[in-house]
Amino acid sequence: MRMTIWTRSTVEVLTPVELDSSEQTTTKLPSREKSQFNGIISQSVLLGYSNADKLTIFSAYSGSNGITVILSSYGYLNRRVYCRLFDRNKKEIYQKAVSVFPEFTIKCSESSSLQPEFVAVTINKKDVPENIKKISIETTSQNKREFTVCLAPLFGESPKILMLIEFIEYYKLQGADSFLIYSYNISGETEKLLKFYKNSLTNLDVIRIGNETKCLNRHRCRHEMQLQDCIFRSQNRAKWVATVDLDERIMSIKDDLTLVDFIRTFDDPKISELRFRCQWTLRYSEIPQGPPQIDNLPMIIWHNTSHVAPQNHTTKSIVRPENVDSMGVHGVQKFRNSKLIVKLIDPDVAVVRHYRFVKGWSFFLKEAESFGKFFEFNLSPGLSSLIVERVMSFQLSVAVNDAPFQKKNVTPNTTIGELNNDAILVWKDTAIVYDVTSETNEFGPATTMQQLGVTSLSVLYIYTTAFPCPSGDLRSIVPAQIRLISQFASAASSLFNQKGTTAAAPAPQRAQRPEATAGSAEDEDEGMKSIFSRKILDSPALLKGITETMFFQLKNDPQGLARRLPELVERFFENKDQTYKEFEAFFRLFIEEEVHKEEIIKNNPNSAEAKMFLEAKRNKELINEQYLHSMTHHPEDQVPVTMLYINLTINGVPVKAFIDSGAQKSIMSMACAERCNLNGLIDRRFQSMARGVGGTEKIEGKIHLCDVRVEDAHFSCPFEVMNRREMDLLIGLNVLRKHACCINLKTQRLEFGNGTSTPFLQSFEIDTHLKEIMALPEEEMHVDEEGTSS
């Protein structure tokens, strides 16, 4: 069948995107997805018109359809800006007024006579360009990559290493020959992994995205920008491009059919998008902190899977980038040619498997349940073994190549005989010592790494140094990268002390594993809160390490820690100047209190005290769930409100006035009076004290009649004069009533009774006013109700 879905074009006229499918599509889309076809970004995400970022170019590309600019600035959708082109000497050769559509995207026209090499975008025609960008000029290659995977921006401190390895290795198995990885604000471990992949693969690019934006749903806006950049970056480089998130796997139902083979079956050039329906496989816990382990691979351990979602509900796509004009999160928004079509993929052929972490997602689970029954999904044994082997080989290679004493490539099938005779293998908290020349060895030279039980492989190191060290200090040869030094040293030392010799042990022995750490899977169900364990209190070494880490974070990044342990941060700042010794006692007491609560809940759940603790715990969970729901569906409620300012003139001097209908009187600062030459008109007889929410301040006097010009009209206004540096001029209720003013928030204008109206200023204009006119440091700005707009 064929059906038509309507999307928005650059001139705000709806144009059809043709769909081609042999299956029946649902006639009613879930309400939460309707915004997909109302524009590139859901209207609920759009902030006020005045909250736009500073106009900045992220990238610029030249193709068969002219020059396309991708902005990193939020808030310019459908606004007119000027695209300005420059030659190789940065001499301007072309200028045109264009609209930003879709969000973050500007379509510039090439000069017919000169080939531009640089581009800039300005708000006004005569503005001096501040962000001239080199244009990426690439001709269409005959040797295009066949299948490129674009990964949505990585961000945050949650463990990503294992899932990222699984993501890349899975899509490599599916035939992907190129990757575009976008990232911002990620952990050092993730950065290290990306660096390794970038150095080892010639077909993987890492694109950094800036983190500064006024968009409330920051990740969503960065994702929208990344999608446009991915499409235009790939238009001359790749035949097909998949746009997916880190936890999404587009998967053929047939085990022997890879994605690249599936794509090759579509030889109709009009088919420019393959759209896949979604299934959710639920992850009930986050990947544990610490070294990634094979046993935690999401595709291997999670199986509870939803029924396939209705058509066009949170779909994902593989597209021909050369035919796409704008890309959305869940499908193409606009093709370059109205004859191009979308192929709706039958879920019996291929689907998107979304390995979704359920925390904070309960509001959507009911909707997912409405699609049909959940079922147990398992990867085929062949695919499972391939993924494990690829991930395991990669982890071994990375870990060994990081070791300071020896560089050696290792795979799961590497044998003991292929390593040095006196090598020591270290993973987790276990040490194995072996001598391959000994006849009593349980493991011989042909024993493989897999047979040794090496599964947590990112902390596998190979040493060729005799033990114990001449200095007697085992730690002196353990590389600084290993953060489990105390556990390893304890286990290995006991083993060596039993032997009492510098020779390697005659038979392999597995040291007794110490108590589980805060990063182990057993105690990792709630991430950082796994420190609330009796095991931690009973292990001085572990407690000391965690205490040092917490003290460092509280001193250097309290905001980041507050998102995970708000109670700890709040209590710490009651005495934030405490010494480390004082913090040790404070932190131990804090853990003891939390452990005590958990033990009461576990051992005596029906007691009044347990019920009180449970009620507090449930309230916190409810608050977090409501906050996530609010951020997703009502993000405008979280926006710091930009205050209302207008431009006016007094005695020929331009002034920015703050409109405050809650203030009884209108106020002028002494600095403003001096700039406007009104000092001589201040009546000092009206000195008094002003009382308000902020406290009490002295009124220096009053200007009875001041001529204020707004647009082309003049108004007489009285002002109280005060020494307030942060408030240059305030128009209060007395002036607003006198001139019958209307604060029209729909049109974003201040309207006067005589018909005069003037627009409210944008936040960046107010920032400039506070910094330059009044010479205020940024931390003293009061543009927004809850802080600075920036």
Percentage, residues of the chain above pLDDT 70: 68
Judgement on whether residues 246 and 287 belong to the same structural domain of the protein: yes
pLDDT tens digits, 627-647: 666 665 565 565 567 789 999
Judgement on whether residues 37 and 83 belong to the same structural domain of the protein: no
Residue 328 sits in a domain whose CATH number is: 3.90.550
Of 660, 683, 712, 728, which is the active-site residue?
A: 660
pLDDT at 556: 74
Judgement on whether residues 57 and 173 belong to the same structural domain of the protein: no
pLDDT tens digits, 408-465: 455 667 666 665 433 444 433 333 333 334 444 455 567 676 665 554 333 333 333 3
Q: What is the pTM of this model?
A: 0.52
Interval 392-421 mean pLDDT: 52
Give the Cα separation of 568 and 550 in Å (integer).
Answer: 10
Of the two residues 49 and 345, the one the predictor is more confident about is: 345
Judgement on whether residues 184 and 229 belong to the same structural domain of the protein: yes
**515 within a domain of the structure (yes/no):** no
The set of residues, in sequence order, having a beta carbon less than 8 Å from that of 588 and lying 6+ positions away, is 537, 543, 547
Domain finish residue from 113, 137, 161: 137
Interval 711-740 mean pLDDT: 88
Interval 130-149 mean pLDDT: 84
Residue 71 sits in a domain whose CATH number is: 2.60.40
List C-alpha distances in Å: 554 to 331, 532, 656: 43, 17, 40
pLDDT at 221: 86
Q: 547: pLDDT confidence band, cut at 50, 70 and 90?
A: confident
Q: 50: pLDDT confidence band, cut at 50, 70 and 90?
A: low
Domain finish residue from 570, 603, 636: 603
Judgement on whether residues 474 and 593 belong to the same structural domain of the protein: no
Judgement on whether residues 175 and 312 belong to the same structural domain of the protein: yes
**97 within a domain of the structure (yes/no):** yes
Percentage, residues of the chain above pLDDT 90: 25
Count of beta carbons in the 10 Å neighbourhood of residue 348:
9
pLDDT tens digits, 640-686: 677 899 999 998 899 999 999 988 899 999 989 998 999 889 998 88
**612 within a domain of the structure (yes/no):** no
Judgement on whether residues 109 and 152 belong to the same structural domain of the protein: no
Residue 768 sits in a domain whose CATH number is: 2.40.70.10
Judgement on whether residues 701 and 754 belong to the same structural domain of the protein: yes
**771 within a domain of the structure (yes/no):** yes
Count of beta carbons in the 10 Å neighbourhood of residue 314:
21
| Residue 778 pLDDT > 50 | no
268 counts as catalytic: no
pLDDT at 112: 52
| CA quadruple 45, 51, 57, 58: dihedral sign | negative
Give the Cα separation of 610 and 288 in Å (integer).
Answer: 28
pLDDT tens digits, 284-303: 888 877 666 777 889 989 99
Judgement on whether residues 24 and 57 belong to the same structural domain of the protein: no
Judge whether 416 and 445 are in contact, CB under 8 Å: yes
**691 within a domain of the structure (yes/no):** yes
Interval 507-522 mean pLDDT: 32
DSSP 37-80: GS-SS-GGG---GGGPPP--EEEEEEETTEEEEEE--SS-TT-E
Of the two residues 291 and 174, the one the predictor is more confident about is: 174
Domain finish residue from 541, 571, 603: 603
| Residue 85 pLDDT > 50 | yes
**510 within a domain of the structure (yes/no):** no
Judgement on whether residues 159 and 255 belong to the same structural domain of the protein: yes
Domain membership of residue 448 as a residue range: 403-499
**For the chain, what is the domain count?**
6
The average confidence (pLDDT) of the chain is: 74
Of the two residues 541 and 638, the one the predictor is more confident about is: 541
Judgement on whether residues 126 and 151 belong to the same structural domain of the protein: no
**786 within a domain of the structure (yes/no):** no
| Residue 596 pLDDT > 90 | no
**512 within a domain of the structure (yes/no):** no
| Residue 45 pLDDT > 70 | no
Judge whether 223 and 152 are in contact, CB under 8 Å: yes
Judge whether 452 and 443 are in contact, CB under 8 Å: yes
Q: 370: pLDDT confidence band, cut at 50, 70 and 90?
A: confident
Judgement on whether residues 379 and 439 belong to the same structural domain of the protein: no
pLDDT tens digits, 194-240: 888 887 777 899 999 987 787 877 888 889 999 999 999 999 899 99
Of the two residues 612 and 389, the one the predictor is more confident about is: 612
Of the two residues 598 and 266, the one the predictor is more confident about is: 266
